[in-house]
Structures are given as C-alpha cells and as structure tokens.
Structure 1
Amino acid sequence: MILVTGGTGLTGSHLLFELTRKGHSVRAIKRNNSSIEFVTKVFSLYALNPKELLDRIEWVDADLLDYSSLLNATIGIETVYHAGALVSFNPKDAEAISETNIRGTANIVDACVHNHVKNLCHMSSIASLGEANEQGFIDESCIWTKNKGKSAYAKSKFFGEMEVWRGAEMGLRIIIVNPSIILGPGRWSTGSGQFFCKISKGLLFYTNGICGYIDVRDVVKAMILLNENPNIKNERFILNSENLSYKDIFLLIAKSLEKNPPRYQITPKMVSFCFPIIKLFGTLSGKEPTISRENLNSAFSKSYYSSEKIKKSVDLQLLPVSESVQFIGEIFRKGTL
C-alpha cells in the first residue's frame, strides 16, 4: 500500500489524484483539524468520476511532529511519498519551518525503518542545491557548501534531505526530487499561486531575477515514474521545465488573467535602501517584516536549472510553462478553486 504525506496541499492533492487515477489504493495523512475540501475540488477539476477516485483514499489523522501517529500511519505500507512540508518566507516562522521540515522528515524516516517500508520518495526543493557549475547550470552534482545567506526554508530542505540520506544508510530505497517553482491551480495565497493573486490585483513591479518553473502535474508524474522504476535507487532528480525571468513569467500570467503586466523594474539598490525602512516601520507598528533580507535578495539571483537527468531517466514530456500558466489562469478567472 502507498502512503502520502501532505495530502491536502497542492502537490499532495495532485499526487493523490494521479495515484488513484492509476488504480492505486492510497492512505493519506492529514492533521485532525484539516479539511479535504481542496482535494475534492482538485479531483473534480480533472475527473468525470471524482467520488470513485476519492473513495480509494484512506484518510488518517497524523502529524509529522507526532512520531507515534506516524508509526501507526506507516503500518502495512510499502511506499511513502513524502510531500508534507511547511513553506514560508516569514522570519517569524523559522523555528516552525525547521521543526516540520527537518524533525518531521526524520520522524517519517524513522517510522519507515521501524515498519519495514521499502521505498521513500521525498519531495525536496531546488532551494537545497548548491551553486552553479562551470557551465552556468545547477544540476544534481551541485552540492550545498555554505549556510550563509540562505533562507530558513532552504536550510530546512537541505537538512531534511540529510535525514532522508540517513534512511538510505538504514536500508530504505530512497528517491529525492528537487522541483523548481511549482505551478499549479489553487492555493492562491501561497507559493506560485501568489503570483496569480498579486497580478490579478495589479502588481506593478518585477525584478530581473531568473528561476526555473514546472507544472505540478509533471512533478507528481515524475515522482511516480521514478518510484516505479526498480533500477533507480538512492538518487536525486531536479524537476524543471524551463528557466524564465520574473518579467517573462509575470507577462505570461498577466496574459492568462487578461490583466496588465508589471511595468516597473526594482533594482537591488532599491531593496538595500528600502529594507531598513520596511523593518523600522514594521517594528514601530508591532509587526516584523514578513520576508527576510535573504529572500528579498533571492528575487534578483539568476539561476538556471538543468533537467537533463530526469529527461534521460523517465519517459515524460514536460509541459511548456506557457501552457501551464494559461491553464492555471483560466481556472483562476473561473473561480473553480
């Protein structure tokens, strides 16, 4: 049997859909106060028979920080897809991010080992990777070498990966995927969903930064294909469709929403000048800035991610970013999710 963590999130819900669509019965973890309404809406978006597929899911109340609940959840499980994580760039959330993404992952690994789970497919992030190689690309060989200047989220994903590699040393077959920025419908207040939300309200600014993007549907298909290939063991894979500037991705999103794109470029010097003022006014108002200097600086970095390894390893044609954005934009306009 298969277990999915983070089943109520963007990636987790799509993972559940793809697994049930392929005929699998799945156990999924959720917190006892979490709703599965979003999952139901995701299934209804893609399937003519969403209830039939949803009935293949056994929901279990568990928490990544509650080891005993994970022990119960992993009984009788052969494969775990670990998509549960806390994503935040608010400095106030640094401790919670560390707890969830490092200790929570360690708990999953230990529960898997205790209950003799065979396979663990862990969703990490490009944030855990190192600097570009001599060709200017970041690939799987680019190893993290320093903590300085890294966000709390990036550190948590790197050290979370270390826990997964520990599992490999204890006999688990592991696969790690490092998706770039994941594009998917719904969850408009987090992740790339914020791009659609902000641009729909008239976002005016952009930076000259460059990053990678991939459709959530390709992320989950890649995870499943990698896990189903018995020849792949104890490896990591970057999942990335295209590298685009923020200006270009914002232009695509604006077009999909039938809105005007951001017009004004922000430079690093502007951030250096404005951040102390932002922090001062936040302190005076009793509110800390909701983003750190490290995260602001990352908006200007130009990172190019290589997807050569995944393309050679599985039979998967990655969706063009323009197609993904158009699909998501239409759903946003309709208010389906």
Structure 2
Amino acid sequence: MVFVTGATGILGRVVALELLKRGKTVRASKRPTSNLDDVKHSYQFYTENPDEFFNKIEWIDVDFDDIHALQDALKGVDEVYHCAAKVGFNPKDDKEIYHTNIKGTENLLFACEGSEVKKFLHVSSIAVLDLFNEKGELDESSDFNPKDEHSAYALSKHLSEMEVWRASAEGLNTVIVNPGMIVGSGNWGNSSGDIFPTFEKNSFTFSGGTSYADVRDVAKICIELMEKNMFAERFIIISENKKYADLGKQIRKALGLKEAKILSDFQLNVGVWANTLFGWLIPVLRMATRTNVKAISSLNIVSNQKVKDRLNYQFIPLEETVDFHLKNYINDKKLKK
C-alpha cells in the first residue's frame, strides 16, 4: 500500500491518481475540512474514469501533530509520497508554515521508524536552491546559502529537507524532488491553483519570473524515481523558465483581457516602504517585503538536465501546459455561472 500526504492538493491528488492507474492501493491523508468534491471533479480532466479511480482511494483524516495517528495511518504501508505542505509568502502565515512543513515532516519520518515503510519521497521546492553552477544556472548541486535572506517558506523547505537527509543517513530509502511552480487543474484559488485567478484578477505583473512544471509531469516523475529506486538524491522538476509577463500575456489573452502592465522597481520599493510604515494597519501591505520583492523581480535559470538524462524524460511544453489547464479553469468557471 502507498500513503500519499496532501492528497487534496494540486499535486497530491494527481500522484494518487497516477499510482491508482498503475494498479497501486492508495491511502490518502486529508483534513476534516478538505473538499473531496473538488478532487473528484478534477479527476475528469486526467482520466475517462474519474469516479472509478476516486472511489478506490482510502481517505483518512490525519493530525500530523499526533504521532500515534500517523503510525496508524502507516499500517500496511510500504511507500510514502509526502506532498503535504503549507505554501505562502505572507508573514502572517510564517508560524503555520514552519510548523506544518518542518514539524509535520519530522513527525511523519519518526512514525516511519519501526513501520513497514521502505521508500519515502519528499516534495520540496526550487526555493531552497541558492548557489549557481559554472553555467550560471541552479541545479541539484546548488546548496542552500544560510547567509542569504529567505522567505519563511524557503527556509521551512530547507529544514524539512534536513529531516529527510537525516532519515536517509539512518537507513530509510528517500528521494527529494524540487519542483518549480506547479501548474494543474482544480484547487483553484489555493496555492499553485491560484495562478489563473491571479492573472485574471490583476492587471499588473512583475519584471521577474520563475520555473514551471505541469502537474502531470511532476506526478509521473515522482513515481518513476520511486519505481527505479533512485534514492539518496534530489531531482529538480521543471519544464521551462519563464517571465511572469510572458506567461500572463498568454493567460490574459485567452481570457479576453488586456495585457498586464509590469510594475517598476520603484513602485515595488514604494510598497516595501509603505509596509514598513503602515503594514501593521493594512494587512495587504505585509506582502511587500524585501525578500518577496527580490523574488518577483528576478528570473533564475533552473536546469532540468539531470531528470531528463536519468529518466530519459520529455517534458510537456509550458505553452501546452497552460492551454490545457486554462481551458479546464475556464470550463469550471462556466459551470459555476
């Protein structure tokens, strides 16, 4: 049996589905307030038999602060895909981000001790990559630099990785994947699922960019890495590096909207200044931190060469990814009218 954490999230739900397609038995964690209808609905975008696959999942409520509950969840489990995480860049979420991402991972790994779990995959992020290689790119050798200023999310992912490496040193077969921003269907408005609503609602964008990956690619690569026993390593999973403005142009055009304007460095720095003075009074200003402004004003080139070479993998082009998932978003909007 395979245990998938964060199975209601944009990635975890597709990992669970791909495992089911391969004949695996899946147990999946959720919160008591999780929207399983959204998960079930999104499966129609990935398979012709959404109900059949969804009904095969054994859903369980898991409190990651409860070691005994985690140990019960792992009974009969030999593989774990740890997709659960709190993603956010608002300082008000920092405490929850640290607790969920670090303590949750630590407790899950502790529960694995003495269990039947033989394989453990941890979903991290490219946010932990700092040091550039000789080509000026970020790759799997790009270590985290503690001297740099990081978001709470990036720091939490780094410290979560440290827990996984510790477990690896103690004998657990582990692999870490570092996806870019994951583009998928469903979970609209939450985490990576916010990409289309954000570009739709905002007529402005930023000068920088980031690295993207189709959720279908990320899920398949995760499973292939586990099946091929590629342990004690990390693998970056991204298809392309892209500027926000270029991606926003494609999305807003398809939505019949005008091209978004790029906010200047001056405007962003005014936001940081306003946050310093009025952030305590106006919550939205708290997002304008120096760390966040730096992140949205730069585009680091991230390499996906390792996973392409090791798995002989061909990524879905980003333009095709956006077309596919944006159509799903538009169709879902029509259904709600």
- Quickly name the TM-score band, shorter chain normalised: over 0.9
Which stretch of the first structure deviates more once superposed, 76-85 or 107-116? 107-116
Seen in structure 2, the aligned counterparts of structure 1 residues 51 and 295 have a Cα distance that, compared at 3 Å, is same
Seen in structure 2, the aligned counterparts of structure 1 residues 303 and 287 have a Cα distance that, compared at 3 Å, is closer
Alignment partner, residue 109 of structure 2: 109
Alignment partner, residue 199 of structure 1: 199
Seen in structure 2, the aligned counterparts of structure 1 residues 146 and 134 have a Cα distance that, compared at 3 Å, is same
Corresponding letter in the other structure for 1:228: E
> Cα distance, 1:285 vs. partner?
4.6
Q: CA RMSD in A?
A: 1.8
Pairing 1:80-229 to 2, within 5 Å after superposition? 80-201=80-201, 203-229=202-228
- Find the residue that maps to 1:335 and give its secondary structure: helix
TM-score of the aligned structures, taking structure 2 as reference length: 0.94
Looking at structure 1, the residues matched to 226 and 88 of structure 2 have their Cα atoms a distance apart, in angstroms, of 28
Alignment partner, residue 276 of structure 1: 273
Residue of 226, 233, 236 corresponding to 1:235: 233
| CA offset digits 1:236-261 (Å, max 9, x no partner) | 00001011111111112123323222
Corresponding letter in the other structure for 2:210: C
| CA offset digits 1:60-91 (Å, max 9, x no partner) | 11122222211111111110000000011110
Corresponding letter in the other structure for 1:181: M
| CA offset digits 1:172-211 (Å, max 9, x no partner) | 101100001111122232334333113323x322222132
Looking at structure 2, the residues matched to 291 and 3 of structure 1 have their Cα atoms a distance apart, in angstroms, of 38
Q: Check if 1:52 corresponds to 2:52.
A: yes
Alignment partner, residue 261 of structure 1: 259
The gaps in structure 2 that reach 5 residues or longer are none
Asked whether the 8 Å contact 2:275–2:288 carries over to 1, the reply is: no
Alignment partner, residue 246 of structure 2: 248
Asked whether the 8 Å contact 2:183–2:195 carries over to 1, the reply is: no
- Find the residue that maps to 1:284 and give its secondary structure: coil
Looking at structure 2, the residues matched to 124 and 286 of structure 1 have their Cα atoms a distance apart, in angstroms, of 28
TM-score of the aligned structures, taking structure 1 as reference length: 0.94
Looking at structure 1, the residues matched to 280 and 288 of structure 2 have their Cα atoms a distance apart, in angstroms, of 13
Q: How many residues align?
A: 334
Looking at structure 1, the residues matched to 34 and 277 of structure 2 have their Cα atoms a distance apart, in angstroms, of 36
- Find the residue that maps to 1:7 and give its secondary structure: coil
> Cα distance, 1:147 vs. partner?
4.8
> Cα distance, 1:150 vs. partner?
0.3
Pairing 1:63-78 to 2, within 5 Å after superposition? 63-78=63-78
Corresponding letter in the other structure for 1:212: S
Asked whether the 8 Å contact 1:26–1:57 carries over to 2, the reply is: yes
> Cα distance, 1:279 vs. partner?
4.6
Which stretch of the first structure deviates more once superposed, 18-27 or 154-163? 18-27
Looking at structure 2, the residues matched to 332 and 99 of structure 1 have their Cα atoms a distance apart, in angstroms, of 32
Looking at structure 2, the residues matched to 328 and 56 of structure 1 have their Cα atoms a distance apart, in angstroms, of 25
- Find the residue that maps to 2:29 and give its secondary structure: strand
Corresponding letter in the other structure for 2:153: Y
- Find the residue that maps to 2:301 and give its secondary structure: coil
> Cα distance, 1:167 vs. partner?
0.8
Alignment partner, residue 329 of structure 2: 332
Which stretch of the first structure deviates more once superposed, 142-151 or 121-130? 142-151
Asked whether the 8 Å contact 1:256–1:325 carries over to 2, the reply is: no
> Cα distance, 1:286 vs. partner?
6.8
Pairing 1:290-329 to 2, within 5 Å after superposition? 290=287, 292-329=289-326
Looking at structure 1, the residues matched to 288 and 101 of structure 2 have their Cα atoms a distance apart, in angstroms, of 19
Q: Check if 1:18 corresponds to 2:15.
A: no
Looking at structure 2, the residues matched to 110 and 177 of structure 1 have their Cα atoms a distance apart, in angstroms, of 20
Asked whether the 8 Å contact 1:210–1:304 carries over to 2, the reply is: no
Which stretch of the first structure deviates more once superposed, 185-194 or 212-221? 185-194
- Find the residue that maps to 2:116 and give its secondary structure: coil
| CA offset digits 1:23-67 (Å, max 9, x no partner) | 211011112232311210122222222222122211111122222
Corresponding letter in the other structure for 2:203: L
- Find the residue that maps to 1:70 and give its secondary structure: helix
- Find the residue that maps to 2:280 and give its secondary structure: helix
Looking at structure 1, the residues matched to 125 and 117 of structure 2 have their Cα atoms a distance apart, in angstroms, of 23
Asked whether the 8 Å contact 1:7–1:13 carries over to 2, the reply is: yes
Looking at structure 1, the residues matched to 263 and 253 of structure 2 have their Cα atoms a distance apart, in angstroms, of 21
Percent of residue pairs identical: 39
